[in-house]
């Protein structure tokens, strides 16, 4: 009896080893290196308002020209613990306007602390501010800044200036995957000694065009939240397991197909059906809306940009519902009663999905991290528009007027 148990133990042990090795059979690792410079994240930018000033707290060396307009404000600076830095905008009538920053803290803005503004065709000006870094691989942290010359707002003084800046910088690396160099994108935290592989904006050049498309619903980028994201590259699935900045080595590992959980949307293809519970506690499905042009909107009361879209959604719903248009809002708020009150005050009479019934849809299936985000479907449930611009503000009305049957 003892011999039989002993044999059974060894048979079970080797079967377990075989199953374990089979599950990882053929999974490979690929190595790569980081590029030498960071790039500003120019997709996710934030507005800043500067105010006019006559007596700045710093000295300019050399002095700024007489008659130059001077204003100041704070820009977000990820490289310092305070998270911000005072910046001066110097507008010169005849000459080169620039942004000035006291980088070394000596209360003087020298020549190497001035960043020239280049004029664009649309009348705006822009520059890249390279903030110095103490890092084993990267020497500077780039910040993209655009100045909207001529900006006016009824609630602000005429001397106010509107600027727009990038906040985050992205690192890029090239990894040899099956004898092909593939571009990868990683978030970069200048205050951290290591580069994370689980939190931030990640990307991979899926189509091989040398760029990574950073926009919602793109198959090339996704946000991670304490999760090693899996991307699909053709027929293989990959994730980055380690980035060694000291040795400049990227390690990418192959993953099983079952670990890739993101649902990829494509214009012209049917959006997969899903279940949800509406605000009346009724079980519903996406397919309930077949036969209508449907705007799916991911939003929340906490999102200022989402609230700005409300009047346009109300206008679109009231104007086009008789022409076969409907809205399904995917709400992300926990307090439904507050949302219901907001809906009543703003005449939002369309279907709302409860947050707890679609949480996996938002976080796992579609990895929604930007709000608002919208999708327009045709009556057959096929994706018509994923691009966000035609579905924002008054442009939504223009888009629907053009698409919907008369």
Query: What would the pLDDT profile of 105-116 be if each residue is shown by its tens digit?
Result: 999 999 999 999
| CB 166, CB 187: distance < 8 Å | no
Using alpha carbons, select from 195, 159, 200 the residue that is nearest to residue 73: 159
Q: What is the CATH classification number for the domain harbouring 306?
A: 3.40.30.10
pLDDT band per the 50, 70, 90 thresholds, residue 8: very low
Has residue 9 been placed in a domain? Answer: no
Angle at 238 between CA 220 and CA 365, to 5 degrees: 60
pLDDT band per the 50, 70, 90 thresholds, residue 141: very high
Which helix (H) or strand (E) segment holds residue 171: the answer is: strand 169-177
Distance, CA of 284 to CA of 282 (rounded, Å) = 6
The answer to whether residues 64 and 134 belong to one domain is: yes
Write out pLDDT tens, residues 182-207. Answer: 999 999 999 998 999 999 999 999 99
Q: Structurally, how many domains does the chain consist of?
A: 3
The answer to whether residues 246 and 386 belong to one domain is: no
Radius of gyration of the chain, Cα coordinates, nearest whole angstrom: 26
Has residue 266 been placed in a domain? Answer: no
The answer to whether residues 281 and 399 belong to one domain is: yes
Residue with tokens 């991979």: 204
Domain, as residue range, for 330: 275-403
Task: Return the biggest CA–CA distance within the chain.
Answer: 102
The answer to whether residues 143 and 192 belong to one domain is: no
pTM for this entry:
0.79
Write out pLDDT tens, residues 273-287. Answer: 999 999 999 999 999
Q: To 10 degrees, what angle do helices 393-403 and 304-320 make?
A: 30
The answer to whether residues 222 and 207 belong to one domain is: yes
Has residue 14 been placed in a domain? Answer: no
Distance, CA of 281 to CA of 354 (rounded, Å) = 8
CB under 8 Å to 333, separation ≥6 — which residues? 300, 301, 302, 339, 355
Has residue 2 been placed in a domain? Answer: no
Q: What pLDDT sits at residue 18?
A: 42
Structure-block tokens of residue 287: 């397919």
The answer to whether residues 240 and 285 belong to one domain is: no
The answer to whether residues 218 and 100 belong to one domain is: no
Q: What pLDDT sits at residue 1?
A: 38
Burial of 323 (0-12, 13-18, 19+ CB in 10 A): middle
The answer to whether residues 191 and 339 belong to one domain is: no
- Choice between 343 and 9, residue whose per-residue pLDDT is larger: 343
Looking at 194, 228, 259, which one is the last position of a domain? 259
| CB 260, CB 252: distance < 8 Å | no
Alpha carbon 40 to chain centroid, angstroms:
13
The answer to whether residues 227 and 254 belong to one domain is: yes
Has residue 224 been placed in a domain? Answer: yes
Has residue 210 been placed in a domain? Answer: yes
Has residue 4 been placed in a domain? Answer: no
Looking at 144, 166, 188, which one is the last position of a domain? 166
Task: For residues 157-172, give the mean pLDDT.
Answer: 96
What is the phi/psi pair of residue 282, to 5°?
A: -95, 140
Looking at 225, 259, 293, which one is the last position of a domain? 259
Question: Helices (DSSP H) in 118-194: which residue ranges?
Answer: none
The answer to whether residues 142 and 281 belong to one domain is: no
The answer to whether residues 244 and 301 belong to one domain is: no
Q: What pLDDT sits at residue 223?
A: 86
Has residue 338 been placed in a domain? Answer: yes
Cβ atoms < 10 Å from Cβ of 380? 9
Structure-block tokens of residue 250: 């990227």
Write out pLDDT tens, residues 357-388. Answer: 988 888 778 888 788 999 999 999 999 999 99
Task: Name the percent of the chain lying above pLDDT 70.
Answer: 94
The answer to whether residues 194 and 155 belong to one domain is: no
């Amino acid at each position: 009896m003892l011999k039989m148990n002993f044999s059974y133990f060894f048979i079970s042990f080797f079967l377990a080893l075989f199953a374990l090795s089979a599950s990882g059979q053929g999974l490979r690792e690929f190595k790569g290196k980081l590029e030498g410079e960071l790039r500003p994240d120019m997709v996710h930018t934030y507005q800043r308002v500067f105010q006019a000033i006559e007596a700045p707290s710093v000295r300019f060396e050399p002095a700024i020209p007489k008659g130059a307009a001077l204003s100041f404000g704070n820009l977000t600076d990820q490289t310092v613990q305070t998270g911000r830095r005072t910046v001066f905008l110097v507008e010169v009538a005849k000459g080169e306007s620039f942004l000035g920053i006291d980088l070394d803290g000596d209360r003087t803005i020298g020549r190497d602390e001035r960043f020239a503004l280049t004029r664009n065709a649309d009348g705006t000006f822009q520059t890249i501010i390279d903030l110095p870094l103490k890092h084993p691989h990267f020497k500077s942290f780039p910040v993209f800044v655009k100045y909207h010359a001529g900006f006016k707002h009824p609630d602000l003084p005429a001397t106010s200036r509107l600027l727009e800046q990038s906040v985050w910088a992205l690192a890029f690396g090239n990894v040899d995957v099956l004898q092909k160099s593939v571009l990868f994108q990683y978030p970069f935290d200048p205050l951290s000694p290591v580069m994370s592989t689980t939190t931030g904006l990640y990307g991979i050049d899926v189509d091989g065009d040398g760029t990574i498309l950073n926009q919602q619903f793109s198959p090339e980028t996704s946000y991670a939240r304490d999760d090693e994201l899996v991307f699909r590259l053709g027929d293989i699935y990959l994730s980055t397991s380690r980035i060694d900045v000291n040795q400049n080595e990227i390690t990418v590992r192959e993953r099983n197909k079952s670990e890739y959980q993101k649902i990829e949307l494509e214009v012209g293809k049917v959006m997969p059906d899903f279940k949800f519970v509406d605000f009346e506690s009724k079980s519903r499905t996406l397919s309930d809306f077949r036969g209508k042009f449907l705007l799916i909107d991911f939003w929340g009361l906490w999102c200022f940009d989402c609230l700005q879209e409300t009047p346009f959604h109300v206008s679109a719903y009231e104007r086009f519902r008789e022409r076969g248009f409907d809205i399904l809002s995917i709400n992300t708020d926990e307090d439904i009663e507050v949302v219901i009150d907001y809906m009543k005050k703003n005449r939002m009479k369309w279907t709302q999905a409860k947050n707890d019934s679609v949480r996996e849809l938002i976080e796992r299936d579609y990895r929604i991290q930007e709000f608002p985000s919208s999708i327009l479907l045709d009556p057959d449930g096929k994706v018509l528009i994923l691009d966000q611009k035609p579905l924002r503000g008054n442009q939504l009305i223009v888009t629907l007027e053009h698409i919907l049957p008369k």
